[in-house]
Chains A and B, each alone.
Chain A
């Protein structure tokens, strides 16, 4: 059964600080891993997508890493801004399947 576990469940950081969010997954056969940002009351927006052969991908101040051997991924946010306050969701998909498996997300609050 495909599963995604994220940690921490929630996080508060000061504006300008960096943070790292974690994701452990179980999916077979692995196709790709995505990180989404979901603002309160809105739909998820894609930040990065990584396939098996990619171990890092950046999108501005967001950098995702993937270790396919340990089945772990992280999302690093640099120089956080108040607008980064949101839920960050790790999502995996399996080869041959159109459906996605979502984690519960990490709720990030950036405080001034």
Chain B
């Protein structure tokens, strides 16, 4: 049973370009969470999705950021018109259910660098 997969592992973009980060949850998991980790900071919640639905996006910046988890395929975190402040590690986690006790399993992260 493969763990949570994220790709790419490293992504370099110039200011103004778009960044697409992909997350494939563990087999059997239908809940996906995205977190951002800035240098020297703790992980910050961004968005929680189930298949085809956004459940909680209270941590998402209001502009330029969007997320989806289609019926088929990986979850996508999309950042439009990237700025230097978007440089961070973006982690995806998945869980099998909605009980807050449920373990969240993390992927290896995507490190985004904006030049």
Contact = CB atoms under 8 A, between A and B. Distances in A.
B42 interface: yes
Interface in A34-50: 41-46, 49
Contacts, number: 59
Interface residues of A, number: 25
Contacts of A99: 33, 45, 48, 56, 58-59
Contact of B44 (A51, A89, A97, A102): A102
Nearest to B47: A99
Interface residues of B, number: 27
B98 interface: yes
Given A43-B108, A99-B59, A4 B42 contact: yes
A85 to B, nearest CB: 18
Interface of B: 4, 31, 33, 35, 40-45, 48, 55-56, 58-59, 91, 93, 98, 100-101, 103-109
Interface of A: 4, 31-32, 41-46, 49, 51, 89, 93-105
